Amino acid sequence: MKKLTNDFGNIIADNQNSLSAGAKGPLLLQDYILLEKLAHQNRERIPERTVHAKGSAAYGELVITEDISRYTKAKVLQKGEKTPLIIRFSTVAGEAGAADAERDVRGFAIKFYTKEGNWDLVGNNTPTFFIRDPYKFPDFIHTQKRDPRTHLRSANAAWDFWSLSPESLHQVTILMSDRGIPASYRHMHGFGSHTYSLINDKGERFWVKFHFKTKQGIKNLTNAEAEALIAKDRESHQRDLVESIGKGDFPKWSFKIQILSEKDAEKLGFNPFDLTKVWSHKDVPLIDVGEMVLNRNVDNYFNEVEQAAFSPSNIVPGISFSPDKMLQGRIFSYPDAQRYRIGTNYHLLPVNAAKSEVNTYNVAGAMNSDTYKNKAAYYEPNSYDYSPKENKSYLEPDLELNGNVQRYAPLDEDFYTQPRALFDLMNADQKNQLFNNIAASMEGVDKTIIQRALGHFEKISPEYAAGVKKALA
């Protein structure tokens, strides 16, 4: 029989009774096993994510089947390359104990363990978002969370913000449509959402959108179906993912991209870096790249899902950023959140650690288990050939910028064209679901806010506004 020990291998003789002064006496401070157990329990939960708190994850691989080397030199995107990955799906607004089948956007975050370092693609199951400037992000998230006075979720706050921020109409229409509650994580698309850039070996830059199209087909739940499911199983998406992979029914997605050259970006007719808008597939067609498959469940939920940390700041040569304001904000906020939530050295945890060679001069900090591999220098620049140095051959091509420093308003106020195009694609049943879902979400909302929202719906389409009015009646 194995001997029970504490975390340091010290044998525990009695794990049932605390050390006390007499059978009825007070406990002793020297009972270090008791203190360790209580102290560890107090720290078993790291702070949950402010957003995307409820999640599920799995391992898999990305296989590149097409040649896109004309657009990028990134090794991970070269034909024939197979790259291991972990993906974390999530709901956005709910806490860690939220039900999986709630009406919400779904997170779609992927960490690719490439030969050139980790590449994190942090996206959603929607190609757009509610806002286009990170300045508004904390305020927006406050409307999706609990009222600090009552600790209740507030439909009034959500619709007040949306109706005063009409750039959100596109995303709101998606959220309130039949796709607002995916039947499972397997049955939804994923998007990088932001505009990124690809750089080829000639130093040419291309703007890119990343798409993952489910091969399982799209399946969604109505409000009634979701309510019935939640009553029986609050972990429906987690269960579906674990069980499907466990029995060998591996989820797959087709990996595709949209490409715009720098000179063609203006042809869209709107800011190509506006996260509230999509690039028309007619104008910028999808290009096949490869396939993503998930084929292994995690072994330890806390270690591999809760401590998994993603950030769009993790890029590799040949893949980079864009002037997308929301992307620029997330480049800072995501790793900063992880440093607060998990710790300064979260990158050393196995689920986050790069599988490629790492040479850094970052030192110390809490829970640092790294060792100094360089023989002499622990700083840079230095005089030693065997210590890592910068390599200017990896510099990106110049990005031409111009303009004065100012808090610029968005370049356009066309809040209605793209939601109208989406609405016009819906069939009668989808439109009715949209109307009824919006009406249900407006329960308890101030009449003035409802009227403001209806005014926006009218500008999208009179049919849109009329349908919501009828559902509200």
Confidence of residue 200 (pLDDT cuts 50, 70, 90): very high
- Residue tagged 């590149």 (tokens): 64
CATH fold, domain 55-130+182-350, is Catalase HpII,  Chain A, domain 1 (2.40.180)
What confidence score (pLDDT) does residue 42 get? 79
Dump pLDDT digits (tens) for 257-282: 999 999 899 889 999 999 999 999 99
Ranking 158-162, 165-169, 234-238, 338-342 by mean pLDDT, the lowest is: 338-342
What is the CA angle 337-341-343, rounded to 5?
A: 100
Which residue, 52, 45, 57, is CA-closest to 299?
Answer: 57
Whole-angstrom distance, CA of residue 268 vs CA of residue 283: 8
Average pLDDT of the chain to the nearest whole number: 93
124 is known as an active-site residue: yes
In the predicted structure, residue 373 carries a pLDDT above the cut 70: no
Contact status, residue 90 vs residue 48, Cβ threshold 8 Å: no
Average the pLDDT over 148-164 and give the result. 96
Distances (CA, A) of 250 to 54, 190, 263, 301: 22, 16, 40, 19
Q: Pick the catalytic residue: 52, 170, 187, 456?
A: 52
> Where does residue 242 rank: exposed (0-12), middle (13-18), buried (19+ CB within 10 A)?
middle
Task: Give the percent of the chain with pLDDT over 70.
Answer: 99
The better pLDDT of the pair 406, 206 is held by 206
What confidence score (pLDDT) does residue 374 get? 59
- Distance, C-alpha 280 to centroid of its chain: 23
What confidence score (pLDDT) does residue 10 get? 79
Number of other CB atoms surrounding residue 174 within 10 Å: 20
In the predicted structure, residue 375 carries a pLDDT above the cut 80: no
What confidence score (pLDDT) does residue 213 get? 98
Number of other CB atoms surrounding residue 448 within 10 Å: 10
Q: Is the peptide bond preceding residue 381 cis, with omega within 30 degrees of 0? A: yes
Scored b (16 or more CB within 10 A) or e, 337-355 reads bbeebbbebbbebebbebe
In the predicted structure, residue 162 carries a pLDDT above the cut 90: yes
Average the pLDDT over 435-454 and give the result. 98
Average the pLDDT over 2-18 and give the result. 82
Dump pLDDT digits (tens) for 24-76: 778 888 888 888 777 777 787 889 999 999 999 999 999 999 999 999 999 99
Ranking 41-45, 193-197, 210-214 by mean pLDDT, the lowest is: 41-45
Q: Pick the catalytic residue: 118, 124, 220, 314?
A: 124
Whole-angstrom distance, CA of residue 251 vs CA of residue 249: 6
52 is known as an active-site residue: yes
- Domain edges within the chain: 55-130+182-350
Dump pLDDT digits (tens) for 71-127: 999 999 999 999 999 999 999 999 999 999 999 999 999 999 999 999 999 999 999
